[in-house]
Amino acid sequence: MKNLLGGKGANLAEMAGHEDLKFPVPPGFTITTVVCTYFYENENSYPKGLTEDIKKAITQIEKLTGKKFGDRKNPLLVSIRSGARKSMPGMMDTVLNVGLNDQTIEGIINQTKNPRFAYDSYRRLIMMYADVVMEKAAGLEPTEGKGIRKIMDEHLGEIKKAKGYKADTDLTTDDLIAIVKDFKKIVQEKLGKSFPEDPKDQLYGGIGAVFSSWNGKRAVDYRRIEKIPDEWGTAVNVQAMVFGNMGEDSATGVAFTRNPGNGENKFYGEYLINAQGEDVVAGIRTPAPINSYSKNDQSKNLPTLAELMPEIYLQLEEVREKLEHHYKDMQDIEFTIEKGKLYILQCRTGKRNGTAAVKIAMDMFKENLIDARTAISRVQPQQLIELLLPMISPKAESTTKPIAKGLPAGPGGARGRVVFSSEDAVKWAEKGEKVILVREETSPEDVDGMHKSQAILTSKGGMTSHAALVARGWGKCCIVGCGDIEISHETKSLTTKDGTVIREGDTISLNGTKGVVYLGDMPLSEAIISENESYKSLMELVDMTRKLRIRTNADTPHDTRKAISFGAEGIGLFRIEHMFYGEGSDRPLFLLRKMIVSRTEQERRTALDELFPYVKKDIKETLEVLNGLPITIRLMDPPLHEFIPKNEDRLIQLSRELGISLSDLRKRADSLKENNPMIGHRGVRLGITYEEISEMQIRAIFEATAEMITEGKDASPEIMIPVTCTVNELNHQKIIVEKIHNEVCKKFGLTRIPHSFGTMIEIPRAALTAGKMADTAEFFSFGTNDLTQMGFGFSRDDIGSFLPDYMDKKILSADPFQTIDQEGIGELIKFGMERGREKRPDLKIGICGEHGGDPESVKFCHRIGMDYVSCSPFRVPIAKLAAAHAVLEEDAK
Ligand code: PEP
Ligand code: MG
């Protein structure tokens, strides 16, 4: 029914007619979405017979209300509202009080004995009609950048000022009569046409305008964000007007059947006496609470509806009860009280935040209103982020304008003082300052400063750039590719597009979930997940439902512990090289650098021997935390020169520590430089050239495991070779693995050390030759970051410079580094899986690119039959929920 009547129309029909409900809904009719589609396909015209149908429907309303549309004595007034299949709050247009003109107003005055109310309604109609129908729907560009509504608003303001009034309610009948005249004059002057007096013209003008607003900019933008198809169209609801502004016994309000802010099973809402719906939304008057539960700081001293109109409140309570039982979900209701009589104008599934979504779903499950599957489907995976990370208070956000926007790389909220270098971040943080590190982009050298910052903001880079990857791993708030800011290192300042200058030490706040930057200090709300019972029970249901296993990308015992607390079932990617960044890495990083600049194999082996205990210790500590859970340990991947310091001071320091001259060090470093390092000497290629580098890492894995075994503990390492493109590379490394395995077995007196051997599939050729790869590999882990980079030929670090154009011009519908490009890269993955499993039916397959935490990509991995996905610790719950949703979606087919 919703597809045809739209959400609002369907619910109105149901509320009015369903025998469980039978609510007092003002009579009306709905023009279906099919008419909207027809309207757009046929040059804004209507299907045959529509006029006839509308006429009949109006007659029906007339019968039910005893009023007549356009009648002088007893006129019927109607509202015209949009209503798409999925609610698009505030995105489309509405016209109220249709049917009022210089004649019918007399009837309204007679009916109500309230001329002030009548003229107030009339001036509202003129304003709305001029704005929505005569200007917006007609496609007129506002003159002098000012829309007709604004011009009228300003005129109203001037009159109020001249008369010394504070509120609209101070306007007298005479004032309003004059304003109606003025408004009509403004319409004629500014729009070159007169306001239509004929109620029929008003009716058709209003209907056409609502259809047109489906393609208005606001609505189109909203559809893009919410992924609502353009073809759906909107329905139009025409309904008899009821008035909340007929005096002190009238009111209008909005209520939620449960609290949408925290999910509590309490009736929650606001109302305004003697007002129309738009007054509540406009925020001019402070709405009063419907009951004492709904009081807030601003409204705590206002009388509640329960106190003021107890009978009406009880009726509303009854509506609440029935609605929840009928729709089995939290509803939001719009209501109007006209001269002491309650009308329900609308109900729809209420929007809620993440915390509320989880609580409402689980409470309703416990109340036996919904089953487990429905409860799971009621929470969107992304909503869980709010439960895991501190967020900027949504209330503060709703009233603050962002100063810049970038890509949402690391979710959550943060605030702090701006610094422009990693060194400053560390210095300031050590003094106890909360800082936000702002850079063009980050490199491994910045990791310490990044770690010590509350958040990271970069002006360049994409969703898998260094900053994004590292921040996401830590669950740190991060915005990348923020082209709206320009950084000046000389003046230690940044300038936003609108010219705001922010200097070192100034405070900014980031919403990393949305990618938005604010000036100043915004309040944050903290999350303590272990105390959230609803979340815990939801996760139990999720775990019983999903089939896909969820691992984590973690490189330290600390991150591993965190991921396990979030429910990770092992590590899907342990990047050995990450031990060389961040806190406590000085010594191993020095030894690594020493190894890198070695000239001979002997020099290199000596450095590697010194490095070995650090690598082994790091692995062992993580194995301890895992307590037998599987861990995919990837041999070193990045090009070696990435580890050479770029900063002159550090280079000098390194040359001193190594006991070689600066020029000698430079020469050695230069010899490692590459034009295209991402497709240069990296990954397995390092282990082919320098076998000793692979040997050291493999030995560290085996010895750490052997120690665990001899201590009576469990360990299940999986050795993974990165950036392979031919099985010959794998065969080469396998020989090293076997050799070291035998040596370590001998050393520890063991016959076998548990392990498996596999590869990343992150080069298109590896996917295409997966059948051969599976001859040697016992598992595949799709590295979708590189696979996307190499499949598209888009640099993952530079996509920020052109992705916005690709999105704006609709060349791509989504960032392929965020969500798997199913028709391209996805095909490569499917092909690789099929070929691999043909050769080795028990081949274990997962993914470890950033996509492992993206709900749509997780669902894709489920559909194509992967065994697991691996994602950063904070994404584990999201991936789990997405995996459960994948099962529900599959079963629904
Ligand atoms: C990948 O390429 O998908 C991957 C996980 O490896 P990295 O991001 O370390 O290149
Ligand atoms: Mg990779």
Q: Please report which ligand is nearest the Cα atom of 473.
A: 1
Q: Residue 800 pLDDT > 70, yes or no?
A: yes
Whole-number Å distance, alpha carbon 463 to ligand 2 midpoint, is: 14
> Ligand 1, from 552, 571, 573: best to mutate by most atoms within 8 Å of Cβ?
573
Which of the four pLDDT bands, split at 50, 70 and 90, describes residue 279?
low
The CB density around residue 606, as the number of other CB atoms within 10 Å, is 15
pLDDT attached to residue 793: 96
Taking the CA atoms of residue 687, residue 872, residue 814 and residue 415 in that order, the dihedral angle to the nearest 10 degrees is -120
What's the pLDDT at 686?
A: 96
- By the 10 Å C-beta count (0-12 exposed, 13-18 middle, 19+ buried), 141 is classed as exposed
Cα-to-centroid distance, 468 and ligand 1 (Å): 12
- Which protein residue has the closest C-alpha to ligand 1 atom 4? 783
Atom 6 of ligand 1, residue of closest alpha carbon = 783
DSSP alpha helix (H) spans, 196-347: 199-213, 217-226, 277-282, 305-308, 310-327
CB atoms within 10 A of CB 241: 24
Ligand 1 binding pocket mutation candidate from 848, 857, 870, 875 (most atoms within 8 A of CB): 848
Distance 399 CA to ligand 2 centre (A): 41
Indicate the pairing of strand 75-76 with strand 28-31.
unpaired
Rounded CA-CA distance 521/392 in Å is 10
Exposed, middle or buried by CB within 10 Å (0-12, 13-18, 19+), for 676?
exposed
Nearest CA, atom 10, ligand 1: 786
Going by pLDDT thresholds of 50, 70 and 90, the confidence category of residue 464 is: low
Per-residue pLDDT reduced to its tens digit, 302-354: 999 999 999 999 999 999 999 999 999 999 899 999 999 999 999 988 888 88
683 CA → ligand 2 middle, Å: 8
Which residue's CA is the closest to the ligand 1 atom numbered 8? 785
> What is the model's pTM?
0.82
Distance CA 560, CA 784 (A): 22
Say how many Å lie between the CA of residue 682 and the centre of ligand 2.
10
pLDDT grade for 280, boundaries at 50, 70 and 90: low
pLDDT at 166: 82
Atom of ligand 1 nearest to the CA of 464: 8
CA 690 to chain centre: 44
What is the rounded average pLDDT for all residues in the chain?
A: 92
Q: Which atom of ligand 1 is nearest to the CA of 722?
A: 6
User: Is residue 513 within 8 Å of residue 831, measured between CB atoms?
Assistant: no
* 534: its two tokens: 């609803």
Residues catalogued as catalytic: 466, 848
| Spacing, Cα 760 to ligand 1 middle (Å) | 9
Please report the pLDDT score of residue 147 as a whole number: 85
Query: What percentage of the chain reaches a pLDDT higher than 70?
Result: 97
Closest ligand 1 atom, residue 575 Cα: 9
Instruction: Report, as an integer, the average pLDDT of 514-528.
Output: 88
CA–CA separation, 18 vs 435, rounded Å? 57
Tell me the CB-side half-sphere exposure of residue 479, using CA atoms within 13 A. 27
Does position 281 have pLDDT exceeding 60, yes or no?
no
Q: Give the pLDDT score at 397.
A: 87
Please determine, for residue 844, whether its predicted confidence score (pLDDT) is greater than 90.
yes
Please report, for residues 539, 589, 679, 797, the alpha-carbon distance to residue 466 in angstroms, rounded to integers and kept in the order given: 31, 18, 16, 7
- Residue 553 CA: which ligand 1 atom is closest? 5
Structure tokens that stand for 137 in this block: 């729907």
Radius of gyration of the chain (CA): 33
| CA proximity to 42, closest of 54, 31, 34 | 34
Task: Give the model confidence (pLDDT) of 197-250 as tens digits.
Answer: 999 999 999 999 999 888 877 777 777 767 788 889 999 999 999 999 888 999
Probe residue for ligand 1, chosen from 552, 573, 786, 792 as the CB with the greatest number of ligand atoms within 8 Å: 786
Q: What are the tens digits of pLDDT across the range 235-254?
A: 999 999 999 988 899 999 98
Atom of ligand 1 nearest to the CA of 637: 9
pLDDT band of 692, cuts 50, 70, 90: very high
Q: What is the pLDDT of residue 409?
A: 80
User: Closest-lying ligand to the alpha carbon of 636?
Assistant: 1
Task: Flag whether pLDDT at 880 surpasses 70.
Answer: yes
d(CA 750, CA 738): 14
What's the pLDDT score for residue 136? 83
pLDDT at 284 over 60: no
Q: How far is the CA of 858 from the centre of ligand 2 (A)?
A: 18
Check whether 411 has a pLDDT greater than 90.
no
pLDDT for the residue numbered 584 = 79
- In this structure, the residues whose C-beta lies within 6 A of any atom of ligand 1 are 573, 575, 637, 762, 783-786, 848-849
Q: With a cut of 80, say whether residue 528 has pLDDT above it.
A: no
The 8 Å CB, 24+ separation contacts for 619-623 are 619/574, 619/576, 619/700, 619/701, 619/704, 619/717, 620/704, 620/707, 620/708, 621/557, 622/554, 622/555, 622/556, 622/557, 622/560, 622/571, 622/574, 623/704, 623/705, 623/708, 623/713, 623/715, 623/717
Q: Which of 581, 637, 820 to mutate to test the pocket of ligand 1 (most atoms within 8 A of CB)?
A: 637
In the predicted structure, residue 283 carries a pLDDT above the cut 60? no
Cβ proximity of 415 and 477 under 8 Å: no
| Residue-level pLDDT at 285 | 67
- pLDDT at position 38 is 93
Residue 469 has pLDDT above 80, yes or no: no
Distance 620 CA to ligand 1 centre (A): 23
